[in-house]
C-alpha cells in the first residue's frame, strides 16, 4: 500500500499501488512466452514416395533436351535430332509436347551446325515455342567448347 504525505491532512488517500500489477503482468508474459513454442503449427503431411520402377523414367525426364539441326549433305533439307533420338520436322512439335507434358520447367536448347541455314534453326525454335516450351536457348560451338 502507498502512503501519501503532503497537503491533505484530513484523512488517508487511496492510491493504487502499481508494483503488484507489474509483477502479475511479467509473470503472465513469461508464461505466454514459454507456452507459445509448444503449440502445434500446421498439419502433419505424408510425402508420397516414388515407385522404384519409375526411377528410370524420371532419370530420362530430368535430362536436358537439346534439339540438333544437322545439315544433310545429300539434300538441301536438314535433319533433326532430339538428344540422340532421330526426329522429323513433322513430328517435332508432338514429340516436344510428349517430353514436356509432365515437366514443371519447360526449357530446351537448339544446336545448329555451321552449315545449317538460320531459317531452319528459327523454324525449330518456332515449333518448340508452339509446343508450349517457355524458354528456348541456343547452343553455339564456343559455348559447347566452354569458351
- Each domain of the chain, given as residue ranges in start order, spans 52-145
62 vs 107, residue with greater confidence: 107
Read off the C-alpha cell for 76. Answer: 538441301
The model's confidence at residue 4, banded by pLDDT at 50, 70 and 90, is: low
Does residue 99 contact residue 130 with C-beta atoms inside 8 Å? no
Rg (CA), the chain: 37
| Cβ–Cβ < 8 Å for 29, 44 | no
Residue in 78, 85, 66 with CA at minimum distance from that of residue 123: 78
pLDDT of residue 21: 87
Separation CA 58–CA 122 (nearest Å): 30
pLDDT greater than 60 at residue 34: yes
Asked whether the predicted pLDDT for residue 143 surpasses 60, the reply is yes
95 vs 4: which has the higher pLDDT: 95
Instruction: Please tell me the predicted confidence (pLDDT) of residue 7.
Output: 63
d(CA 128, CA 134): 9
Rounded mean pLDDT, 76-99? 87
User: Does pLDDT of 63 surpass 80?
Assistant: no
Residue 67 has pLDDT above 70, yes or no: yes
| CATH architecture, range 52-145 | 2-Layer Sandwich (3.30)
Does the structure show a pLDDT above 80 at 141? Answer: no
Residues 108-113 have a mean pLDDT of 88
Amino acid at each position: 500500500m502507498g502512503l501519501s504525505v503532503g497537503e491533505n491532512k484530513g484523512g488517508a488517500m487511496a492510491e493504487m499501488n502499481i508494483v503488484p500489477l507489474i509483477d502479475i503482468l511479467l509473470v503472465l508474459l513469461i508464461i505466454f512466452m514459454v507456452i507459445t513454442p509448444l503449440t502445434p503449427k500446421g498439419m502433419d503431411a505424408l510425402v508420397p514416395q516414388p515407385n522404384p520402377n519409375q526411377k528410370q523414367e524420371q532419370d530420362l525426364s530430368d535430362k536436358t533436351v537439346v534439339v540438333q539441326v544437322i545439315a544433310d549433305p545429300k539434300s538441301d533439307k536438314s535433319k533433326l535430332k532430339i538428344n540422340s533420338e532421330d526426329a522429323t520436322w513433322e513430328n517435332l512439335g508432338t514429340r516436344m509436347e510428349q517430353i514436356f507434358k509432365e515437366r514443371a520447367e519447360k526449357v530446351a536448347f537448339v544446336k545448329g551446325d555451321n552449315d545449317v541455314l538460320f531459317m531452319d534453326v528459327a523454324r525449330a525454335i518456332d515449333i518448340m515455342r508452339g509446343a508450349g516450351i517457355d524458354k528456348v536457348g541456343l547452343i553455339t560451338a564456343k559455348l559447347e567448347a566452354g569458351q
